[in-house]
Amino acid sequence: MSRTCLDCGAKVADDAAKCGECGADMQKIANALAKVQDPETRHPALEQLALYVAAIVSILGGVAGLVGGFYCFFVRLGENALLAVLSLALGVLALVCGYALYVLFRRTYES
pLDDT for the residue 14? 79
- At 25 the pLDDT is 84
Give me the helix-helix angle, 81-109 and 44-70, nearest 10°: 160
pLDDT on residue 58: 92
Query: Number of helices and strands (H, E) in the chain?
Result: 3, 2
Give the pLDDT band (50/70/90) at residue 93.
very high
Predicted local distance difference test score (pLDDT) of residue 18: 87
Whether residue 27 sits in one domain with residue 53: no
**Domain coverage including residue 25:** 2-37
Residues 17 and 32 in one domain: yes
Lowest model confidence (mean pLDDT) among 22-26, 63-67, 88-92: 22-26
Q: pLDDT, tens digit, for every residue of 41-85? A: 667 788 888 888 998 999 999 999 899 888 888 887 767 788 888
Pair (50, 70) in one structural domain? yes
pLDDT at 111: 58
> Are 49 and 23 found together in one domain?
no
- If asked whether residues 8 and 58 sit together in one domain, one would say no
Domain co-membership, 66 together with 102:
yes
The three-state secondary structure class of 83 is helix
pLDDT at site 74? 82
DSSP-derived secondary structure for 5-57: -TTT--EEETT-SB-TTT--BHHHHHHHHHHHH-TTT--HHHHHHHHHHHHHH
Q: How many domains, in total, are found in the chain?
A: 2
Same domain, 28 and 54: no
Torsion sign, CA atoms 22, 25, 26, 28: negative
* 55/77 Cα distance (integer angstroms): 32
Rounded Cα distance, 90 and 66, in Å: 8
Same domain for 15 and 64, yes or no, is no
Q: Are residues 59 and 96 in the same domain?
A: yes
The string of pLDDT tens digits covering residues 28-41 is 877 777 776 666 66
